[in-house]
Amino acid sequence: MFRLVPGAVVALILLFSGWAAADPINLKLSFFTSDRSHIYQDSVKPFVDAVNAAGNGLVHIEVYFSGAISSDVSQQAQLVADGTADLALVIPGRTPDRFYDTSVMELPGLYHSAEEASRVYGQLVDADALAGYEDFHVVSVQVSGPEEIHSRKPIASLADLKGLTIRVNNPTEAEVLQRLGAVPVLLSINQATEAMSKGTIDGATFPPSMLSEFGIGRMTTHHFMIGLGGAPIALLMSRTKLESLPPAAQAVILKYSGEWLSDYATKKFEELDRQALKALQDDSRRTVVYPDPADAKRIRAVYEDVIEHYAATSEHNRDLLAYVRATLARLRSTE
């Protein structure tokens, strides 16, 4: 599902397939926001460029930007499943009924870094351990850095969260913030700015790097560094479409799928998060607050309760969490 095809195999397929066509096969990739966004530049464009360069005359990916196919983030997976698009960038937390197992990647306080979470995500996909991906070829997966709370209203402590209406990315974040006294509102990333401008929400959860992407940074000057879980992201292709391609075209897609893209994107976003956080801290118009020891202890207790509740919900969840912890232990043992 998520494994690389060795370069030598690709070369042999290209050499001996005997397949040729006057025009390349065009694949449609649905992307819900701008080509200028970091999400596209660092999580999608490297794959598109690599495939289009290697597949010259054979296969070509055309990207439909800014929701040209659909701007509804929650519909991106279905667009691929029903053949409206061949590929799409999917936010599993916005389609929890289809990708319900991926919520294990959203659990707060479980992963030490975005890089670690992304590697676990990829290994779970490789092991076919997550439901919902059966109809897709998984080009790449990653998990964002920790999401923080960015607000129009001052937040000096947990007490200030009470009653604030906060946009969240997924049901896991909603549970956390509700336990901490806020009023969570599930909204797609590209809907948060409009909701903020209308005053229907007081704040939003994003990694620091996303503040400049959707305009939230222009409307928020208070930043509460709570370190919520990250947001899983997956670049998916229709498995049916992939298997319908000639072997040489399949080989190009497979060659540029896998860990290299996930690793590249994760490292880029970790650096962007560091730069964005420094910019927030250096801006005298902004207030960046880290929880004091008492609040940090309470936050950690809530995170642990959320993880425990996840495991108690079903035997399946308990087994999946145990699998994740075993995978984390293996990764950490090699550090």
Per residue in 263-312, pLDDT (tens digit) is 999 999 999 999 999 999 999 999 999 999 999 999 999 999 999 999 99
Which CATH number belongs to the domain containing residue 119 in this structure?
Answer: 3.40.190.170
Q: CB 314: neighbour CB atoms within 10 A?
A: 10
Q: Which domain holds residue 135?
A: 9-143+231-270
Whether 20 maps to a domain, the answer reads: yes
Query: Which residues have a Cβ under 8 Å from the Cβ of 128 and sit 6 or more positions away?
Result: 1
- Residues 136-158 have pLDDT tens digits of 999 999 999 999 999 999 999 99
In a domain, 4, yes or no: no
Domain membership flag for residue 135: yes
- For 49-94, the pLDDT digits (tens) are 999 999 988 999 999 999 999 999 999 999 999 999 999 999 999 9
Instruction: Give the SS3 label for residue 185.
Output: strand
Q: 262, 118 in Cβ contact below 8 A?
A: yes
Q: What is the Cα Rg of the chain in Å? A: 20
Close Cβ partners of 326 (under 8 Å, ≥ 6 residues apart) = none
In the chain, the amino acid numbered 212 is S
User: Which DSSP symbol is given to 230?
Assistant: P
Helix (H) or strand (E) holding 296: helix 293-313
Q: Tell whether 119 is covered by a domain.
A: yes
H or E stretch at 106: none
Instruction: State in Å, rounded, how far the first CA of the chain is from the last one.
Output: 26
Q: What is the pTM of this model?
A: 0.90
Number of domains in the chain: 1
Q: What is the pLDDT of residue 15?
A: 44
The mean pLDDT value for 158-172 works out to 96
Q: How far apart are CA 171 and CA 305, in angstroms?
A: 15
- Give the three-class secondary structure for 316: helix
Strand, helix or coil for residue 90: strand
What percentage of residues in the chain have a pLDDT greater than 70? Answer: 93
